[in-house]
């Protein structure tokens, strides 16, 4: 599907918003205002935004903690992230859970599960439900290079392939699983090569190219809707920070980070829109001004929200 100029601007807006939410969360963390850790998706925004933008309204998505862009595309606002990370009363879990551990079926968002790989069988189940009910719904979730080596991930992918479920698994190969480099946890070059063994479709894309990610996800979604079964999309990218803000990632070679910085997904998309004359300097400034205004207002809103009352602690997180 060819994206319109308005849709391209929309994607640019979400990429920027994702980046600014990320930066703002880091800033709040450094001010000691965050309860728990901040798990940055810096440099991986094209994957969250490109995949989520390719979904239809009725589809379901299971983001992981770095997929803030996915949440924004599904209708969450920056304030939801700020409130949640600062454990405030008005946040999605009312201060009873941390980081992106929230979901909303009305938005088609299934909350992350911390145990790596577990979302694969859960989203395969969502795909199975769609198949049984004959709904043209696609289920999509994310795994990291580390998560891809877990038992539930293998079980979920095999299950989805055998039953030809409408599942899209987006593997964010960012080179690292905490301090473990990818070559120390898999003996093959491409994570997507595993797809053949399950009997499912696969694609390898440049994870820093939002349009490539979008296209691959559309294609996988179309295959799933046609009853063609699941797809594993490997997005090659780089984790540009430590595992979380507390980790300075001194074990990651600086040279690799410098090389990847040159491939920044947002700068790259900006350059593309500019050279193809798809976004004027004025249009770009207007989008950036809108993002800045929303960030400013939402940080203010979140900071003025109170902490939950002590008796709230005994209420379940989801009640």
Ligand X SMILES: Cc1ncc(C[n+]2csc(CCOP(=O)(O)OP(=O)(O)O)c2C)c(N)n1
Considering only residues 162 to 181 of the shown chain, the ones binding Mg ion according to CB under 5 A are 174, 176-177
In the annotation, is 101 catalytic? no
Contact 233, 191 (CB under 8 A): no
Q: What mask of x and - would describe binding to Mg ion in positions 222 to 261, judged by CB under 5 A?
A: ----------------------------------------
User: Using CB distances below 5 to 8 A depending on partner kind, what does residue 259 bind out of Mg ion, ligand X, none?
Assistant: none
The whole-angstrom separation of Cα 196 and Cα 199 is 5
The footprint of Mg ion on this chain (CB under 5 A) covers a number of residues equal to 5
User: Using CB distances below 5 to 8 A depending on partner kind, what does residue 12 bind out of Mg ion, ligand X, none?
Assistant: none
Q: Which of 45, 80, 145, 264 is close enough to bind Mg ion by CB under 5 A?
A: 145
Smallest gap from residue 178 Cβ to ligand X (A): 4
DSSP per-residue letters across 48-100: HHHHHHTS-TT-EEE--TT-HHHHHHTT--HHHHHHHHTT-TTSTTTTSS-TT
In the annotation, is 239 catalytic? yes
- In the block, tokens 């809707």 appear at 225
Which of these is catalytic: 20, 218, 243, 272?
243
The whole-angstrom separation of Cα 18 and Cα 12 is 10
Pick 3 or 113: Cβ nearer ligand X: 113
Give the interface with ligand X as residue ranges (CB under 6 A). Answer: 66, 114-116, 144-147, 150, 172, 174, 176-178, 239, 243
DSSP per-residue letters across 126-141: HHHHHHHTT----EEE
Pick 26 or 150: Cβ nearer ligand X: 150
- The b/e string for 9-32 (b: 16+ C-beta within 10 A; e otherwise) is bbbbbbbbbbbbbbebbbebbeee
Smallest gap from residue 184 Cβ to ligand X (A): 12
In the annotation, is 251 catalytic? yes
Element at 269 (helix H, strand E): helix 265-275
User: Which of left, alpha, beta for 236 (phi over 0: left; psi -120 to 50: alpha)?
Assistant: beta
User: Using CB distances below 5 to 8 A depending on partner kind, what does residue 251 bind out of Mg ion, ligand X, none?
Assistant: none
Considering only residues 12 to 51 of the shown chain, the ones binding Mg ion according to CB under 5 A are none
User: Using CB distances below 5 to 8 A depending on partner kind, what does residue 147 bind out of ligand X, Mg ion, none?
Assistant: ligand X
DSSP per-residue letters across 89-128: TTSTTTTSS-TT---BGGGTBPPP-SSTTTHHHHHHHHHH
Which of these is catalytic: 5, 30, 226, 251?
251
How many contiguous H segments (helices) and E segments (strands) does the chain have?
Answer: 11, 7
User: Using CB distances below 5 to 8 A depending on partner kind, what does residue 85 bind out of ligand X, Mg ion, none?
Assistant: none
Smallest gap from residue 70 Cβ to ligand X (A): 13
User: Using CB distances below 5 to 8 A depending on partner kind, what does residue 178 bind out of Mg ion, ligand X, none?
Assistant: ligand X
- State yes or no: residue 144 binds Mg ion (CB under 5 A): yes
The whole-angstrom separation of Cα 27 and Cα 97 is 20
Give the catalytic positions in this structure: 239, 243, 251
| Sites of contact with Mg ion (CB under 5 A) | 144-145, 174, 176-177
């Amino acid at each position: 599907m060819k994206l319109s100029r308005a849709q391209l601007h929309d994607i640019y807006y979400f990429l920027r918003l994702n980046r600014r939410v990320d930066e703002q969360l880091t800033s709040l963390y450094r001010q000691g205002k965050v309860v728990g850790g901040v798990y940055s998706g810096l440099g991986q925004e094209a994957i969250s935004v490109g995949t989520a933008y390719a979904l239809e309204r009725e589809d379901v998505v299971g983001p992981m903690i770095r997929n803030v862009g996915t949440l924004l595309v599904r209708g969450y606002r920056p304030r939801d992230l700020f409130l949640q990370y600062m454990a405030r009363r008005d946040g999605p879990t009312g201060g009873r859970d941390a980081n992106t551990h929230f979901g909303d079926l009305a938005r088609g968002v299934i909350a992350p599960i911390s145990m790596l790989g577990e979302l694969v069988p859960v989203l395969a189940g969502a795909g199975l439900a769609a198949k049984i009910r004959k709904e043209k719904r696609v289920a999509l979730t994310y795994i990291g290079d580390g998560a891809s080596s877990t038992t539930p991930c293998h079980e979920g992918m095999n299950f989805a392939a055998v039953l030809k479920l409408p599942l899209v698994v987006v593997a964010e190969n960012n080179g690292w699983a905490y301090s473990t480099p990818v070559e120390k946890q898999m003996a093959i070059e491409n994570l997507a090569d595993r797809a053949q063994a399950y009997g499912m479709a696969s694609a390898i894309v440049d994870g820093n190219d939002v349009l490539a990610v979008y296209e691959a996800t559309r294609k996988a979604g179309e295959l799933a809707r046609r009853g063609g079964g699941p797809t594993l999309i490997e997005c090659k990218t780089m984790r540009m920070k430590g595992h979380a803000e507390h980790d300075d990632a001194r074990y990651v070679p600086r040279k690799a980070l410098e090389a990847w910085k040159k491939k920044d997904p947002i700068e790259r998309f900006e350059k593309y829109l500019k050279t193809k004359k798809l976004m004027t300097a004025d249009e770009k400034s207007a989008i950036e001004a809108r993002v800045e205004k929303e960030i400013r207002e939402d940080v203010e809103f979140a900071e003025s929200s109170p902490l939950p009352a002590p008796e709230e602690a005994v209420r379940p997180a989801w009640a």
